[in-house]
Amino acid sequence: MAAADILSSEPAPSGRGISSNFRRLSIKENSAFDEMLKDDGSTTPAYADYFKWMEAQNKGQMLQKARDAEAVFRKTGITFAVYGEQEAAERLIPFDLVPRIISGSEWRRLTQGIEQRVIALNAFLDDIYHRQEILKAGRIPLELIADNDAFLPEMIGFRPPGGVYTHIVGVDIVRTGPNDFFVLEDNARTPSGVSYMLENRETMIQLFPELFQQISVRPVMNYPQALRNSLRAVKPQSAPDSPRTVVLTPGIYNSAYFEHSFLADQMGVELVEGSDLRVHDGKIAMRTTEGYAPIDVIYRRVDDDYLDPLTFNPESALGVPGIMDVYRAGNVTIANAPGTGIADDKAIYSYMPEIVEFYTGNKAILQNVPTWRCSEPDSLSYVLDNLADLVVKEVHGSGGYGMLVGPAASKRELGAFAAKLKARPSNYIAQPTLSLSTCPILTKKGLAPRHVDLRPFVLVSDKIEIIPGGLTRVALKAGSLVVNSSQGGGTKDTWVLDD
């Protein structure tokens, strides 16, 4: 029986019935690990205080709070663009009022694994653009680097200021059991979503101030200041102690433009487009009312291929002609560094356990999801034979585009995707369909469990800082495993308890 059917047949009373209805529902929904309720129906320690509060809430009032939250998001303009749609391309990102809660002990284990992984990612990038020891050791196939469009020969022999390549990292994590966490993918180029994390928390504080007085939740609202300080810490050696920092955006038509403008505003720095910048006296300079002023640090949200038309795509109007020459001369910091995209390539991801052990000397604390590389004949054969049970992703894909969720696909879709696999096997990897953990969401009928993932955000400079929480994405459709906002998912506030 589907969750919606259970809710329809057992509607929650208008008073205290929200949490008790979820208790009955969640026991029946026992195919996935539930983060709020144990198998016997009792509450997990992380949710104990919140559950007690929720039992006293009126369903009608909670639904009104949900409408209030939507109004706040609409007024603020918290939208994202959906590519490929001619109409209604700007959407309001759905927000669920029920927080995802992580205990302090769970978070400590996660952060140990995240920090280890980020250290390995930066070491890997430094190595492949310099000595390439991991290739010489045969731990990664040479062709996986040499034939990869994300590998930039222009970065060979160059080390960014401070030796940092991935200044901002988003690590996507899924959970399948009480102690079972897996890294789904690494986002080392231009990870997005942190503005939603901040707006989610701000909205929750506005709507439920009493909750934050009763429950000790670790703060996230200092992220913009932490980001600014982290970027300043990796300024070029020639830059002043207070370097001028900007956020470089492709412009208003980019899907994450809201985030670009939001972060620039919160950091107190300028939001610029490529047309606002130029090379001047060996530096990158920004156009101002008083002429051009030198820039020291650029937080870029422009993809590598569009960053410099003199080096990469000559038709790009989004970047700055000559910026790579200034960068390689050591006169500007670009975060994240060009060429970092190879670190979140999904074929490279499949080698991350070896990469972590190679550079840290220890086994990976956080494991990968088992992955079949379709470029390998035996793996391709297995994937084709089991396509209906697997999730298949493009190696360079993102945002949920270009992927197949086998269990949810029709026979026609499976056949069409099999043809794609046979035509370009090296373009795909495949993974098992994991039973992702569930958290409750608020529906018109009451509470219902939905699958979630988590994207913690990491700042890297002369230290590594992991923001306590991150962006929880939730599949709003019953039974769905697809959490991407572009594919119908929503977001939640993520609480890390201060215990």
* 424-435 confidence digits (pLDDT tens): 999 999 999 888
pLDDT for the residue numbered 395: 86
Spatial separation of the C-alpha atoms in residues 232 and 246, rounded to whole Å:
11
pLDDT for the residue numbered 446: 85
Report helix, strand or coil for 489. coil
**In the predicted model, is pLDDT for residue 41 greater than 90?**
no
- Name the average pLDDT for the chain: 89
CA 198 vs CA 14, 202, 338, 472, 494: distances in Å: 31, 6, 27, 12, 10
ω into residue 386 within 30 of 0, thus cis? no
Among 68-72, 266-270, 299-303, 493-497, where is mean pLDDT lowest?
68-72
**In the predicted model, is pLDDT for residue 397 greater than 50?**
yes
pLDDT for the residue numbered 81: 55
> Mind listing the pLDDT tens digit for each residue in 201-245?
999 999 999 999 999 999 999 999 999 999 999 999 999 999 999
User: What proportion of the chain, given as a percentage, has pLDDT over 90?
Assistant: 75
Query: pLDDT confidence of 307, banded at 50, 70, 90?
Result: very high
Spatial separation of the C-alpha atoms in residues 206 and 76, rounded to whole Å:
14
**In the predicted model, is pLDDT for residue 27 greater than 70?**
no
Residue 186: which region, alpha, beta or left (left: phi > 0; alpha: psi -120 to 50)?
beta
CB 308 within 8 A of CB 284: no
> Mind listing the pLDDT tens digit for each residue in 335-358?
999 999 999 888 899 999 999 999
CATH for the stretch 370-432 = 3.30.1490.270
The amino acid that residue 278 corresponds to is R
Spatial separation of the C-alpha atoms in residues 81 and 240, rounded to whole Å:
37
**In the predicted model, is pLDDT for residue 3 greater than 70?**
no
Average pLDDT over residues 23-39: 70
Report helix, strand or coil for 491. strand
pLDDT for the residue numbered 15: 44
Round the CA-based radius of gyration of the chain to a whole number and report it. 23
Between β-strands 245-248 and 270-272, what pairing exists: parallel, antiparallel or unpaired? parallel
Spatial separation of the C-alpha atoms in residues 255 and 304, rounded to whole Å:
17
More confident residue, 269 or 489: 269
**In the predicted model, is pLDDT for residue 13 greater than 90?**
no
Structure token digits, residue 34: 């539930």
**In the predicted model, is pLDDT for residue 475 greater than 50?**
yes
CB 323 within 8 A of CB 335: no
pLDDT for the residue numbered 6: 29
pLDDT for the residue numbered 20: 62
pLDDT for the residue numbered 10: 35
> Mind listing the pLDDT tens digit for each residue in 71-111?
888 887 766 555 454 444 566 788 999 999 999 999 999 99
Spatial separation of the C-alpha atoms in residues 499 and 497, rounded to whole Å:
6
Structure token digits, residue 462: 């002369």
User: What proportion of the chain, given as a percentage, has pLDDT over 70?
Assistant: 90
Question: What is the rounded (10 degree) CA torsion for 162, 168, 169, 170?
Answer: 170
DSSP assignment, residue 239?
A: S
CA 394 vs CA 51, 413, 417, 425, 430: distances in Å: 40, 16, 11, 10, 9
Phi and psi at residue 54, in whole multiples of 5°? -65, -35
**In the predicted model, is pLDDT for residue 318 greater than 60?**
yes
Measured over the CA atoms of residue 371, residue 376, residue 377 and residue 378, the dihedral's sign is: negative
The amino acid that residue 226 corresponds to is A
